[in-house]
Amino acid sequence: MTNPILTDWNTPFQIAPFDAISDSDFAPALDSALEQHRAEIAAIAENPEPASFANTVEALEAAGEALDKVLSVFFTVAGADSNPDREALQREFSPRLAAHFSDISSNKALFRRVADLWARKDELALTPEQARVLMLTHRGLVRAGAALEGDADTRMKEIKSRLATLGTEFTQNLLADEREWYMELSEADLDGLPKFAVDAARAAGREKGVDGPIVTLSRSIIVPFLQFSPRRDLRERAYEAWAARGANGGATDNRDIAAEILALRQERAALLGYDSFADYKLETEMARTPDRVRDLLMAVWEPAKARADADAEVLSQMMHNDGINGALEPWDWRYYAERRRKAEHDLDEAALKPYLQLDRMIDAAFSCANRLFGLEFRAVNLPLYHPDCRAWEVTREGEHVALFIGDYFARGSKRSGAWCSAMRSQARFPREQAPIVINVCNFAKGEPALLSYDDARTLFHEFGHALHQMLSDVTYESISGTSVARDFVELPSQLYEHWLEVPEVLREFAVHAETGEPMPAEMLDKVLGAATFDMGFQTVEYVASALVDLAFHEGDAPADPMARQAEILQDLGIPHAIRMRHATPHFAHVFAGDGYSSGYYSYMWSEVMDADAFAAFEEAGGAFDPERAQALEEHILSAGGSQEPDVLYTAFRGRLPEVGALLKGRGLAA
Ligand SMILES: [Zn+2]
């Protein structure tokens, strides 16, 4: 019997035939795909012909097609719709994959061919894109340890394999802790909660098979509970459970895993000749050095902390007026901030929510993409991996551009957070390949599904990443779409959030779920005016996380990361009622993989750029200025990693980004 993952996908848009694939197909498909990729690599490395760009770099680009298919299908379902079988497979696959890619990057014969090309690069008559791919291939191999010999080489392989295993364990422990905990609520405990939060609590109870409403650790359920529940004791219980994810002792505790990961990363950087893991990691980023990152974060920290300290006093006073003595605690902040928001801005999240229907917000994201880039979206019916998934064909002037998939609702089988991934990336080599892009979110279900303003921003954010993939226009897949420096990749996504805040967009798409009335002008003004509300809190919890991440990867790895974390926060003087947005035991950005390690700052680095980039539209003809839109597509959204990020940015903006717009945007400017 043929494995459906490995066949030609004769499906609409050549999407994976999800309805024909069962979990038992993954392991044999992976075996076969790995074997095929190994053979392709061996043929390239042992080619008797002298190295050429075509027989080495292009051959590497073309290799691994079957493996791409297996991994794109498997990681899509393992992240968005897991089950015990898929979790077991992931535990089995991750060290094997790490070993496989480590074998390639430590293949000496292959490295010699690439190094030979690199030495002769000026004689090869390469296009700029080819020269870039050669540079990245060479640098990637060197950084992965290809130039290492003997014991150092052996040790590097062990470290990489162990790190992959630890990253998977970290994620699975976190998922287990998030799934395990819930708090049953009596009908009386629902007092003070808006309808959407009550509905979500009841739906969560039904999903858990509990008779009655519950609070879970899903962000879309616990955050509204902390915002609206007047029951301080219940808020404390829920908050402490949320904060304790990954630190509950027993089999799912992540603290020792974090310590081991940090020690191994330091060892890895030392083997490659770097002072620290942060130095190694930042070499390929737009920021380049730990000092430049720290300078940026500290420039934001002081004004943010000053704002948060002042806000804490106001909130404490409100609490004391309620007859509650003692200090404002982390489980009090959101509740009093929400009441203050109501009192001062009268922006009632619960009243706002009926105006933010998921379907209309999807339409809004599509409409902006249509006005900016001429994209059109047509819903299509395809068998996908879960009935909640929806698909749209994306076209421009009748030409196929991409397939876009949205998987928007929270469920127990989905890991938390929101993300965008390409099930297939755009490329022209070895043949034309149109992208298939998916956005996965964790919005609460409802009839109709309603979003918080944060949720709506998340939807636009992930759609910005999707545009970066869908509008990609490069030759080689390795530099396609979001394959850019980590501190550049959030620019398209964070920039796209600005279009949600364009008044005419909210006027058209924020219509009441029951009455169909557009959002009243007064509410609209408040939404837009509230953009800087509680920014002290949000900036402090984020920057604290980013500074801890950076410090963890500079100098010696801490033997006890929890103690080091406490020390850093104390030195910073973090306000008592604010904690890190992601504390170490559940800081998946940093520990689930290498992606954001000493890179969590990059969201803010990108925010410097997104504020500055959106200002370029405002300075021109407004949010939909066609020339700016065209420049954005040409120099950033279509360009992938074809050039250094500062070159791309300068081509779009005419200069490098400036930090002032960020402080102004957050309402933190002096
Ligand atoms: Zn993002």
Q: How many CA atoms lie within 13 A of 255 on its CB side?
A: 14
Cα 449 → chain centroid: 23
Residue 227 in contact with residue 349, Cβ under 8 Å?
A: yes
**Among 98, 23, 17, 31, which residue's Cα sits nearest to residue 66?**
31
Distance between Cα 417 and ligand 1 center (Å): 10
Q: DSSP characters for 121-150?
A: GGGS---HHHHHHHHHHHHHHHHHTTT--H
Distance between Cα 492 and ligand 1 center (Å): 9
**Among 594, 601, 603, which residue's Cα sits nearest to residue 262?**
594
Q: Which residues belong to the active site?
A: 462
Q: What is residue 332's predicted lDDT score, i.e. its pLDDT?
A: 98
Find the largest Cα–Cα distance for the chain.
83
Distance between Cα 78 and ligand 1 center (Å): 19
Residue 447 in contact with residue 385, Cβ under 8 Å?
A: no
Distance between Cα 445 and ligand 1 center (Å): 22
Q: What is residue 601's predicted lDDT score, i.e. its pLDDT?
A: 94
Distance between Cα 460 and ligand 1 center (Å): 10
Q: DSSP characters for 455-478?
A: HHHHHHHHHHHHHHHHT---S-GG
Distance between Cα 267 and ligand 1 center (Å): 29
Each residue's pLDDT tens digit, 546-566? 999 999 999 899 999 999 999
Each residue's pLDDT tens digit, 146-157? 989 899 989 998
Question: Could you tell me what percentage of the chain is helix, strand and coil, using 3-state DSSP and rounding each to the nearest 5?
Answer: 60, 5, 30
pTM of the model: 0.82
Structure tokens at 271: 């083997």
Distance between Cα 496 and ligand 1 center (Å): 11
Task: Return the DSSP state at 635.
Answer: I
Distance between Cα 583 and ligand 1 center (Å): 19
The answer to whether residue 1 scores a pLDDT higher than 70 is no
pLDDT > 70: what percent of the chain?
100
- 364 or 196: which leads in pLDDT: 364
Distance between Cα 466 and ligand 1 center (Å): 10
In three state form, how does the secondary structure of 14-80 look? HCCCHHHCCHHHHHHHHHHHHHHHHHHHHHHHCCCCCCCHHHHHHHHHHCCHHHHHHHHHHHHHHHH
**Among 264, 278, 261, 269, which residue's Cα sits nearest to residue 599?**
278
Strand extents, DSSP E, 160-212: 182-184
SS3 label, residue 649:
helix
Please state, in angstroms and rounded to a whole number, the distance separating the CA atoms of residues 350 and 126: 58
Cα 339 → chain centroid: 30
Q: Which amino acid is at 122?
A: D
Residue 176 in contact with residue 207, Cβ under 8 Å?
A: no
**Cβ neighbours around 206 below 10 Å, total:** 12
Distance between Cα 52 and ligand 1 center (Å): 37
Q: Indicate the Cα dihedral angle 88, 91, 92, 96, nearest 10°.
A: 160
Q: How confident is the model at residue 39 (pLDDT cuts 50, 70, 90)?
A: very high
- 147 or 198: which leads in pLDDT: 198
**Among 590, 589, 585, which residue's Cα sits nearest to residue 252?**
585
Cis peptide bond N-terminal to 448, omega within 30? yes
Q: How confident is the model at residue 669 (pLDDT cuts 50, 70, 90)?
A: confident
Q: What is residue 421's predicted lDDT score, i.e. its pLDDT?
A: 96
Dihedral over Cα of 79, 81, 84, 86: its sign = negative
Distance between Cα 465 and ligand 1 center (Å): 7
Each residue's pLDDT tens digit, 359-387? 999 999 999 999 999 999 999 999 999 99
Cα 116 → chain centroid: 37
Residue 178 in contact with residue 185, Cβ under 8 Å?
A: no
Q: Which amino acid is at 178?
A: E
Q: What is residue 310's predicted lDDT score, i.e. its pLDDT?
A: 95
> pLDDT averaged over the chain?
94
Each residue's pLDDT tens digit, 452-472? 988 999 999 999 999 999 999
Using CA atoms, how far residue 640 sits from 53, 67, 649, in Å, is 21, 22, 12
SS3 label, residue 567:
helix
Cis peptide bond N-terminal to 224, omega within 30? no
Please state, in angstroms and rounded to a whole number, the distance separating the CA atoms of residues 669 and 407: 38
Distance between Cα 105 and ligand 1 center (Å): 28
